[in-house]
Copies of this chain bind each other. A is one copy, B any other.
Amino acid sequence: MTVKQLSLPELVEACGQLGVVNVGLWREPVQAYGLEATAKLVRDAGLTVTTLCRGGFLTAIDPAERAGALDDNRRAVDEAAALGTDTLVLVSGGLPAGSKDLHGARERIADALAVLGPYAEERGVKLAIEPLHPMFASDRCVVSTLAQALDLAERFPARQVGVTVDTYHIWWDDNAPAQIARAGASGRIHTFQLADWTTPLPEGVLNGRGQIGDGSIDMREWKGYVEAAGYAGAIEVELFNDQLWARDGRELLAETAARFVEHAG
Contacts and interface: CB of A to CB of B under 8 A. Distances in A.
A201 interface: yes
A265 interface: no
A199 interface: yes
A236 B148 CA distance: 30
A173 interface: yes
Interface stretch (A11-19, A47-55, A73-81, A95-103): A95-103
Contact of A204 (B135, B200, B216): B200
A217 interface: yes
Given A95-B216, A148-B174, A216-B95, A205 B100 contact: no
A122 interface: no
Contacts of A216: 95, 99-100, 137-138
Interface of A: 95, 99-103, 106, 133-135, 137-139, 144-145, 147-148, 171-175, 197, 199-205, 215-218, 221
A27 B215 CA distance: 31
10 contacts: A100-B216, A100-B221, A101-B218, A134-B134, A134-B172, A135-B135, A137-B216, A138-B199, A202-B203, A203-B203
A171 B144 CA distance: 11
Contact of A135 (B138, B145, B174, B201): B201
A197 B138 contact: yes
